[in-house]
Amino acid sequence: MFQNPPDTVLLALLQARPRIAVVGLSPRPDRPSYRVSRQMQAWGFDIVPVRPMLAEVLGQPAYASLEAVPGRIGLVNVFRNANEVDAVVDSAIAIGAPAIWIQQGIINHPAALRAQAAGLTVVMDRCIMVEYARLATA
């Protein structure tokens, strides 16, 4: 069964300030993906929107896929339906991302376990913004 990493691992991951590719980042300010990504950006994280058919979100160029993003991605943050996580995991593995964060409310145990087996640090069903605020101020 899948288990999230301990707080020490989460804190180390987030303190490293990885470049975060946000799969499913909405351009709508009322959407959780936008609010969370905007806050992470305000805290100094480099946010890379991954959303087909958009040119830009949060002032950053958007890309149609993880494979289209230039440069290294340190963390893939997923805001997609659970049944779409498998494809995101495949892409994260293909680009050599060291970590994937599957947002709160999104649960796909087989995909999370497959990502772990491929060597990625995997967080699932937790909000990156909430966890960063909790751990960074502890």
Predicted local distance difference test score (pLDDT) of residue 138: 65
Integer Cα distance of 47 and 57 in angstroms: 9
Report whether 8 contacts 130 (CB < 8 A). no
| Residues 98-124 pLDDT 10s | 999 999 999 999 999 999 999 999 999
Q: Is pLDDT above 70 for 134? A: yes
> How many domains are there within the chain?
1
- Helix-strand-coil percent breakdown of the chain, rounded to 5? 40, 20, 40
| Residues 54-83 pLDDT 10s | 999 999 999 999 999 999 999 999 999 999
Mean pLDDT of 8-20: 96
Does 73 fall in a domain? yes
Does 77 fall in a domain? yes
24: CATH = 3.40.50.720
* Residue that has been written with the tokens 């949060």 in this structure: 58
pTM score of the predicted model: 0.96
